[in-house]
A and B are shown apart, each in its own frame.
Chain A
Amino acid sequence: MARKTFEDALAKLEEITRELESGDLSLEASLKKFEEGITLARFCNTKLEECQHKVSLLQEKNGSVTETPFNVNDNGS
């Protein structure tokens, strides 16, 4: 569900940015939104940095699935 959160976080961040730009908020609300926004931005960045690609090949043998790492660079033409 981390992905979902990332997506939501980004959408929320965009919403907050729009609100902050509109300038209709009270100062307290602005600050609160800003803090929330910064947290979300940090979260998104962290999430992106955390990701480490993983490519695996799933093969079925005798009814059970085995997962083996798939080397990206060794394959292809």
Chain B
Amino acid sequence: MFPSSPPLPAPLLGNRQTQTVSELTSSITVLLENEFPFVAVSGEISNVRRPYSGHTYFTLKDSEAQIRCVLFKSQQRYLAQPLCDGARVICRGRISVYRQRGEYQIIVDHVSDGGLGDLQRRFDMLKEKLLAEGLFASEAKKKLPAFVGKVCLITSPSGAAVHDFLSTALERFAGLQVEILPAAVQGASAAREIIRQIEHANKRAWAEVIVLTRGGGSLEDLAVFNDEELARAIYASQLPVVSAVGHEVDFTIADFVADQRSPTPTAAAQEIVFDKDEVVARLKRLQEQMVQGLQNTLRQKEHRLAMARRHLADPRRLVDHYRLKVDHVSLHLVHCFARKLEWATHRLDGVRHAFTAQGPERKIAGSLRRCEVLEHRLEQAMKNRLQGKGEEVARNSARLNALSPLAVLGRGYALAFTGEGKVIRGIDQVKRDDPISIRVADGTIAGMVKKTTRK
């Protein structure tokens, strides 16, 4: 029975009307349920009861307080392990008031391991350890083939992950071949089953890629992917392993060690499986480029051929070409020579001119002229002289005539001459029998010496 509540002090009651129990309980219910629509409480489980209904009732407590909890049957399938007294857990749910008994309790939706701090610590330690061992090294990662045709899918065949992966993968490439290796992806045996299937896939050596996948889940659901043995199995796998665990935020150890990590099964399908349409388009493009390339080559060769042929077609063209060239060169030569000749002539003229200016010709000419002048002057002078003398001669002739011995002859004198014509001035000039001639006024008498007598 309800313990009777202590009487409220009068001032607090104020003007308030008295309420019935139901009314107050309703108010409390509204208050509590509105105030706490969602709670997450950590504590230790105790007093677990599981009546016929299949629901689980327990108390969550810590050192100072406790609170009633109920986990309905429908939610129990999500438990990793059944609830047991003493377990440290985190319960998520809402506060509910049970009016009939005046009690409040948590209606639990989800129970997770309360030792999350431990879990995180273990995760970090394992990560450090495997990192140090080189399990996450990028050099250790195997490269996925560009065109994956055979895939081993390790997952739960009933999960949404299978469908998500297959629908996307087959849409991209309908020729994809998939083998599903079933394994539990949560729960205690999951890690062991997955390891077995990884080994199995490697033994079969049929697939090109192993895809390890599951749909989304809580952090605890993914605990299996933080298993050390699983990590080592992934590392040891000869086939490349893709980890596609449906969680966006956190990485699992499997993600670190896997050769590739995809956030979801769908993403894995997109990343691993090539899109056939894309490849077909690429093929078509390549074919077109190839045709284009060949056509270009052909055109290029044709062009070169045409060029070559044009040169080859008419040898006369070449002859003409050289003929013109020769002509041109000859012309040039002639021109050059002519210029040179002209220049030489010009120079010769210059020299000749200079030479002539200085040469004897001019002197000769000058002399000649001077001679002529002199001759003329001489003539003139002579003429003048002769003229003068003539007159003088005429004048003197009369005088001379008067004085001439011949005139004397007229007076009876004679002149005797030797045979040689000399005037005989003495007897020594002649001898006996020498011819002589005697000039008289009117002629000459020839004679001979008979005798010379000195006086």
Contacts and interface: CB of A to CB of B under 8 A. Distances in A.
Interface of A: 2-3, 6-7, 10, 13-14, 16-17, 19-23, 25, 27, 30-31, 34, 37-38, 41, 44-45, 48, 50-60, 67, 70, 72, 75-77
Interface of B: 145-150, 157-158, 160, 162-164, 166-167, 170, 173-182, 200, 208, 276, 279-280, 282-283, 286-287, 289-294, 296-298, 300-301
Given A17-B290, A77-B160, A48 B280 contact: yes
A17 B293 contact: yes
Contact of B297 (A16, A25, A51, A55): A25
B290 to A, nearest CB: 5
Contacts of B179: 55-58, 67
Contacts of B149: 2-3, 6, 51
Contacts, number: 128
Given A55-B166, A72-B170, A3 B283 contact: no
A19 to B, nearest CB: 8
Contacts of B160: 76-77
A17 B297 CA distance: 12
Given A3-B150, A53-B174, A55-B178, A23 B293 contact: yes
A3 B292 CA distance: 28
25 contacts: A3-B145, A7-B145, A10-B282, A10-B283, A13-B283, A14-B286, A20-B290, A20-B294, A31-B294, A41-B283, A45-B283, A48-B175, A51-B149, A51-B176, A53-B178, A54-B177, A55-B166, A56-B178, A57-B182, A70-B157, A75-B162, A76-B160, A76-B162, A76-B166, A77-B163
A23 B289 CA distance: 12
Contacts of B298: 27, 30
Nearest to A27: B301
Given A3-B145, A37-B290, 11 more contacts: A10-B282, A17-B286, A17-B293, A52-B174, A52-B175, A56-B178, A57-B180, A58-B182, A75-B157, A75-B162, A75-B163
Contacts of A22: 293
Given A53-B174, A76-B164, A20 B280 contact: no
Contact of A10 (B147, B150, B176, B290): B147
Given A27-B301, A75-B163, A38 B287 contact: yes
Contacts of A23: 293, 296-297, 300
A16 B146 contact: no
B289 A53 contact: no
Given A48-B280, A70-B157, A3 B286 contact: no
Contacts of A51: 149, 173-176
A7 B293 CA distance: 22
Contacts of B145: 3, 7
A22 B173 CA distance: 32
Contacts of B174: 51-53
Contact of B280 (A45, A54, A77): A45
A3 B170 contact: no
Contacts of A3: 145, 147-150, 208
Contacts of A31: 294
Contacts of B180: 55-58, 70
A48 B279 contact: yes
Contact of B290 (A16, A53, A70, A75): A16
Nearest to B147: A7
Given A20-B290, A21-B293, A7 B166 contact: no
B177 A55 contact: yes
Nearest to B173: A51
Nearest to A55: B178
Contact of B283 (A19, A44, A58, A60): A44
Contacts of B283: 10, 13, 41, 44-45
B280 A34 contact: no
A13, A58, A70: most-surrounded residue (chain B CB, <10 A)? A58
A7 B180 CA distance: 24
A21 B208 CA distance: 34
